[in-house]
Amino acid sequence: MQQTMRRNKAVASVAVLSLAVSLAACVADTPSAPPPVGESPTVSIQDQRFNSDHVTIEEGDTVTRVWEDGGLSHDVSGDGFKSEVQAEGTFSHTFEDAGDYPYVCTLHSGMRGTVTVVDGA
Encode pLDDT of 34-49 as tens digits: 445 556 799 999 999 9
Per-residue pLDDT at 110: 94
Q: Is the pTM of this model over 0.75?
A: no
Q: Please tell me the distance from the alpha carbon of residue 24 to that of residue 20, in angstroms, as a whole number.
A: 6
Q: How many CA atoms lie within 13 A of 2 on its CB side?
A: 0
Backbone phi, psi, residue 115, to 5°: -105, 125
Write out pLDDT tens, residues 26-83.
334 444 444 455 567 999 999 999 999 999 999 999 999 999 999 999 999 999 999 9
